[in-house]
Structure 1
Amino acid sequence: MKKIINNIKESYNELVYKVSWPTKTELSNSAVVVLVASLIIAALIFVIDLAFEGVMRIVYERIF
């Protein structure tokens, strides 16, 4: 039981004193970067999906 309590105390001290938390500006900038990257990846997957759909239509038109 003593080990568990010691572990909790050490975890708390690490979170409070050793972790460097980002500022609001850094957090906002990171969120914007993630949003833009997500939109770019979504657009890329959309284009690939459209291309694959076109290829499959050509294949199915020739088979059936």
Structure 2
Amino acid sequence: MLTYIKESIEELRHNVTLPTKEESSNLMVVVAVFSILFALATWGVDSVFSKLIKLYFTNVLN
């Protein structure tokens, strides 16, 4: 286990490069836009299913 941890730290030090500030900003915008779009899509599907369930139960109970 210690060998794995040591090798992981070594790999992080020598093989991993962090993105620039500009790249990070661009990626943050992309993530924010897709998060908003996904939230809107989820809200839309939820609204449709909610209305369908209400319609079904009002017709079944009446």
| Superposed counterparts of 1:1-64, under 5 Å | 4=2, 8=6, 10-64=7-61
Question: Which sections of structure 2, spanning at least 5 residues, go unmatched?
Answer: none
Percent identical pairs in the alignment equals 32
- Normalised to the residue count of structure 2, the TM-score between the two structures is 0.79
Q: How many aligned residue pairs are there? A: 61
- Normalised to the residue count of structure 1, the TM-score between the two structures is 0.77
Question: Which sections of structure 1, spanning at least 5 residues, go unmatched?
Answer: none
Greater gyration radius: 1
